[in-house]
Amino acid sequence: MSGTFLGIPKFPAAAKKALSDSQLRRNLAHATGTIRAKRAAVVGEVADWEQLRLAGEAIKNRVLRHLPHYLEQLEKSLTAAGATVHWAVDAAEANRIVVDIAQRHGTDEVVKVKSMATQEVELNTALEAAGIRAWETDLAELIVQLGDDLPSHILVPAIHRNRAEVREIFLGKMGRVGKAAPDDLTDEPKRLAEAARTHLREKFLRAKVAVSGANFAVAETGTLTVVESEGNGRMCLTLPEVLVSVVGIEKVLPTFQDLDVMLQLLPRSSTGERMNPYTSMWTGVTPGDGPQEVHVILLDNGRTNVLADPTGRQALRCIRCSACLNVCPVYERTGGHAYGSVYPGPIGAILTPMLRGSDPQSDSLPYASSLCGACFEVCPVRIDIPAVLVHLRSRVVDEHKEASALPSVQDMAFKAASWTLASSRRTAAAEKAAGLGGRILGKRARTAPGGRAVLGPLPGPAAGWSQSRDIPVPAAESFRDWWKRTEGGTRDTGSAPTARRKGGRS
């Protein structure tokens, strides 16, 4: 079930496809616009929001500075509380551990709380290969799973779907894997939620093994936390006999008190709520209450590589609130699938290439941004995503230079530009040539409002720009030439050579 991101094309190509899907663009603009407004309203209520952000940043930085220490402390606390701790260096190891546990309990199905970590390692696929079915219990995740689809948002994996589409999926697919949706199902949210609840109840009550992630793991006490809005997570965490949690190593927090800051930052940033509806915490095993066998898998899967990058490591501060996705103008238009990873949007554009390493798709991600900075502005833990994007672009350029004997067209263009622009004499000469070219091109130009000569669609390297945008004809006289000719306007301020202008530009 559910697809895989393998083989997704480079960002520009994937984005092009999404951009032509007008239904998708409407769904996304509506959904992100709504969450964005909610977030802005509840964040606006908090007078010391900036202080909270700084506190969140500081806590996470402390964790990253002393990660081995806090992880060892967490392991100790968890073990003392009766949990079993496993370490997984990569996806394969994490999946093997989960499969082993399920098989040891002789079950062929598990229920799941929505978890980014298990999506990242593609646990469902691994379980399926071992003949174990994994049932997603988060509503949006269920929609994605039943629709053989891929998640496109961290928090709202089915954000790209509208109600009518959800109804179709439920009617068509629920019956094949469990309790069917009622024939008279409408697309009212209430009816859809009811159908999902009835479908899932059967699975909750039957399953022996549950799989979760964790939003935070407190080193001091060994307490894991899941925050959610539907209560399905709580059912997973309490009903089955065995609970397995897959937790990224960056999720650790030093003390219980640090949760104070995080639980204020997270709900306001993510769902635009003052407090999230369900906060579940569990500390190992409590005899006679809840799961009697608790496993925690601490997952690396590339995280120590991220940690080794002084500029990039701040990405590990991420608390997966998704605020950066909801404000990102690129995400809003392309949707999440274009990013080719379970981590889409601005955070995905920096995290995915660092976790996964270089490949053509990864290398296209740092360029999937206009560097507008909206993501940094909303990030509750102040990750400077634009700075990391620029840093990763330089990594792409440098690695490419090292790897290939021949410089690319782009390499040569920037080398040439660097040579030209490092000297004002060479720059002036280049501008003269462009001005001359402008005068020739000026014959093909038309006049834009204000009197500026512009060119329509052009062939060759300018096609990318000029397919939809007019381009101004280079000025016949550069500023530096004007300054030289008039000594900065103090002598003969008469108009410049006029080939490009039909009326003065003011």
Partner 1 sequence: MSSVGLMVTCMNDALFPDTGRAVVTLLRRLGVEVGFPAKQTCCGQPMVNTGYLDEAVPLLRNHLDAFVGCEAVVVPSGSCAGSVRHQHRILAERSGDPGLVRAVEQAPPVYELTEYLVDVLGVVDVGAYFPHRVTYHPTCHSLRMLGVGDRPTRLLRGVRGLTLLELPAADECCGFGGTFAVKNADTSVAMGSDKARHVRESGAEVLVAGDNSCLMHIGGLLSRERSGIRVMHLAEILAATETTRTRTTEPEAVTAR
Q: What are phi and psi of 223, to 5 degrees?
A: -95, 130
How far apart are alpha carbons 389 and 368 in whole angstroms?
A: 9
Q: Which stretch binds partner 1 (CB under 8 A): 38-46, 220-228, 328-336, 340-348?
A: 328-336
Interacting positions 167-226 with partner 1 (CB under 8 A): none
Q: What's the closest the beta carbon of residue 440 comes to partner 1, in angstroms?
A: 16
Q: Does 434 bind partner 1 (CB under 8 A)?
A: yes
Site string for ligand SF4, 253-272 (x = CB under 6 A): ----------------x---
CB atoms within 10 A of CB 331: 28
Q: Which is nearer to ligand SF4, 380 or 474 (CB)?
A: 380
User: Quick check: helix, strand or coil at residue 138?
Assistant: coil
Q: Which of 40, 172, 480, 498 binds partner 1 (CB under 8 A)?
A: 480
Look at residue 336 and give the partner it binds from ligand SF4, partner 1, none, a contact being a CB closer than 5 to 8 Å depending on partner kind.
none
Q: Which stretch binds ligand SF4 (CB under 6 A): 58-66, 126-134, 314-322, 437-445?
A: 314-322
Regarding 380 and contact with ligand SF4 (CB under 6 A), the answer is yes
Considering the rule CB under 8 A, would residue 19 count as an interface residue with partner 1?
yes
Q: In the set 394, 404, 408, 498, which binds partner 1 (CB under 8 A)? A: 394
Q: Which one of residues 131, 407, 437, 489 is an interface residue with partner 1 (CB under 8 A)?
A: 489
Contact 111, 203 (CB under 8 A): yes
Is residue 324 a contact residue for ligand SF4 (CB under 6 A)?
Answer: yes
Strands (E), 354-504: 446-447, 453-455, 471-472
Given a contact cutoff of 8 angstroms between Cβ atoms, the answer to whether 262 and 319 are in contact is yes
Opening angle at CA 381, ends 55 and 278, nearest 5? 90
* DSSP-based helix, strand, coil % in the chain, nearest 5: 55, 10, 35
Q: Which of 78, 139, 159, 321 binds ligand SF4 (CB under 6 A)?
A: 321
Q: Where does this chain touch ligand SF4 (CB under 6 A) — which range of 81-89, 137-145, 316-324, 453-461?
A: 316-324
The binder of 395, among partner 1, ligand SF4, none, by C-beta within 5 to 8 A per type, is: partner 1
Kindly tell me which residue out of 106, 360, 449, 494 binds partner 1, with binding defined by CB under 8 A: 449
* Token pair of 17 as six digits: 């496809």
Half-sphere exposure of 379 (CA within 13 A, CB side): 24
Paired tokens of 463: 């096609």
Is there binding between residue 349 and ligand SF4 (CB under 6 A)? no
Asked if residue 470 binds partner 1 (CB under 8 A), the reply is yes
Could you say which of ligand SF4, partner 1, none residue 379 binds, taking C-beta under 5 to 8 angstroms by partner kind? Answer: ligand SF4
Report, in Å, the least distance between residue 179 CB and partner 1.
41
Q: Residue 326's closest CA among 268, 284, 384?
A: 268
Using CB under 8 A as the binding rule, whether residue 42 contacts partner 1 is answered as no
End-to-end CA gap in the chain: 63
Among 40, 465, 497, 498, interactor with partner 1 by CB under 8 A: 465
With CB under 5 to 8 Å by kind, the binding choice for 175 among ligand SF4, partner 1, none is none
Which amino acid is it at 178?
G
CB-based contacts of 401: which residues, under 8 Å, 6+ apart? 407, 411
Token pair in block for residue 452 = 């500026």
Q: What number of helices (H) and strands (E) belong to the chain?
A: 23, 13
Residue located via tokens 């024939």: 183
For partner 1, the binding residues in 340-369 under the rule CB under 8 A are: 366-369
Nearer to partner 1, 288 or 459 (CB): 459
Q: Is 354 in the site for ligand SF4 (CB under 6 A)?
A: no
Structure tokens at 114: 């929505």
138 binds, among partner 1, ligand SF4, none (CB under 5 to 8 A by kind): none
407 binds, among partner 1, ligand SF4, none (CB under 5 to 8 A by kind): none
The residue with tokens 């000594």 is 487
Single residue of 290, 427, 439, 458 touching partner 1 by CB under 8 A: 427
The nearer residue to partner 1, 272 or 366, going by C-beta atoms, is 366
Binding of partner 1 by 464 (CB under 8 A): yes
- Among positions 287-306, residues that touch partner 1 (CB under 8 A) are none
Q: Quick check: 274 binds partner 1 (CB under 8 A)?
A: no
- CA dist list (Å): 431 to 12, 320, 428, 455, 475: 31, 48, 5, 18, 9
* Nearer residue to partner 1 within complex by CB, 179 or 485: 485
When CB distances are held under 5 to 8 angstroms depending on the partner's kind, the choice from partner 1, ligand SF4, none that residue 30 binds is none
The whole-angstrom separation of Cα 200 and Cα 203 is 5
Structure letter (DSSP) for residue 272: S
Q: Across-strand partners of 472?
A: 454
Write b or e for each residue in 268-301: b if 16 or more Cβ atoms lie within 10 A of its Cβ, otherwise e.
bbbbbeeebeebbbbbbbeeeeebebbbbbbbbb
What letter does residue 302 receive in the DSSP assignment?
T
- The partner in contact with residue 496, picked from ligand SF4, partner 1, none with C-beta cut-offs of 5 to 8 angstroms by kind, is partner 1
Q: Which residues of the shown chain bind ligand SF4 in the complex (CB under 6 A)?
A: 269, 318-324, 347, 378-381, 383
